[in-house]
Amino acid sequence: MATSRPLVIGNWKMNLDFVEAVHVGQQIGVMLKNRPAEHTDVVVAPPFVDLRSVTSIVQSERIAVSVGAQHVSAHENGAHTGEVSVSMLKRLGVEWVIVGHSERRTMYAMSDEVVGATLRAVLRGGLRAVLCVGEDLSVRDRDGHDDFVRDQLVSALRGLDEGFNELITVAYEPIWAIGTGLSASNEQVQHMMTHIREVLTGLSIEGCRVLYGGSVNAENAEGLLVAGGVDGFLVGGASLRAESFLAVVHASNDCYALKR
């Protein structure tokens, strides 16, 4: 297992309206009060329209989670219909932003260039960025995953001021494992964790947590942490219910507590 304090992020995607989001947020709060996860950083990333409600209950009920957004504009303000800016997120109490999720890259044509610009906007605004990288099945089948992921990392991270390092997290999310119920194996993940950390070192980015995402659940979390060597998880489907999300959180927390 990696040595950093684990980070578990729930990506709610386009699920849970604001009433449902408040309900799940409150359930997470109650469950974390009954069984704290003091060794683990926990983040939820609801849809934009839920952010105000979720940050409000997190603050008023002192729930031990931070709130993230699933995307943000690379632009500061202006004529960008339908977009949301970093400063708008900050005013809401949002602390994290997922950048370059594969669904943004593939379904909404988010290019490497836009991913890089968005990452810089997030960091300049002082928010924490979770940079998502990962190959699709055709790349994996032709054994191109190492090069593909390295290129995505270099494109987004090259030339960044080292002062931003502590705001960066990387999430390795092979597209073929997202929402499929077919997680990457511990060996595949372990290989990619080593590769990503080497690339990050080459870019002078030290101390950055590297997460795994792709069909993570309570059953596979421990193996991915211990044998896969991940620093935590980006969780989609299993984050939509408080019980299944906290099962991943507690698996991470217990692993880290036992290792210390």
Q: Report the site for ligand PEP in 91-150 (rule: CB under 6 A).
A: none
**Whether the Cβ atoms of residue 45 and residue 9 lie closer than 8 Å to each other:** yes
Q: Closest by alpha carbon to 120, among 99, 142, 135?
A: 99
Q: Report the site for ligand PEP in 5-24 (rule: CB under 6 A).
A: 11
* Residue 239: CB minimum distance to ligand PEP, A: 7
* Residue 101: CB minimum distance to ligand PEP, A: 6
**Whether the Cβ atoms of residue 139 and residue 148 lie closer than 8 Å to each other:** yes
Segment near ligand PEP (CB under 6 A), from 47-55, 187-195, 202-210, 230-238? 230-238
Q: Percent helix, strand and coil across the chain, each rounded to 5?
A: 50, 15, 35
* Residue whose CB is nearest to ligand PEP in the complex, by number: 236
Given the complex with ligand PEP, which of 172 and 256 has the nearer CB atom? 172
DSSP letters for 86-153: HHHHHHTT--EEEES-HHHHHHS---HHHHHHHHHHHHHTT-EEEEEE---HHHHHTT-HHHHHHHHH
Burial of 231 (0-12, 13-18, 19+ CB in 10 A): buried
Given the complex with ligand PEP, which of 104 and 197 has the nearer CB atom? 104
Segment near ligand PEP (CB under 6 A), from 24-32, 46-54, 72-80, 233-241? 233-241
Radius of gyration of the chain (CA): 17
Instruction: Decide if 101 is catalytic.
Output: yes
Annotated active-site residue in 71, 103, 145, 173: 173
Q: Report the site for ligand PEP in 21-40 (rule: CB under 6 A).
A: none
Given the complex with ligand PEP, which of 25 and 237 has the nearer CB atom? 237
For residue 80, give the amino acid letter: H
Per CB under 6 A, does 170 bind ligand PEP?
Answer: no
Instruction: Decide if 23 is catalytic.
Output: no
Annotated active-site residue in 101, 145, 195, 250: 101
SS3 237: helix
- Out of 46, 100, 232, 236, name the contact with ligand PEP by CB under 6 A: 236
Segment near ligand PEP (CB under 6 A), from 139-147, 152-160, 231-239, 241-249? 231-239
- The set of catalytic residues is 101, 173
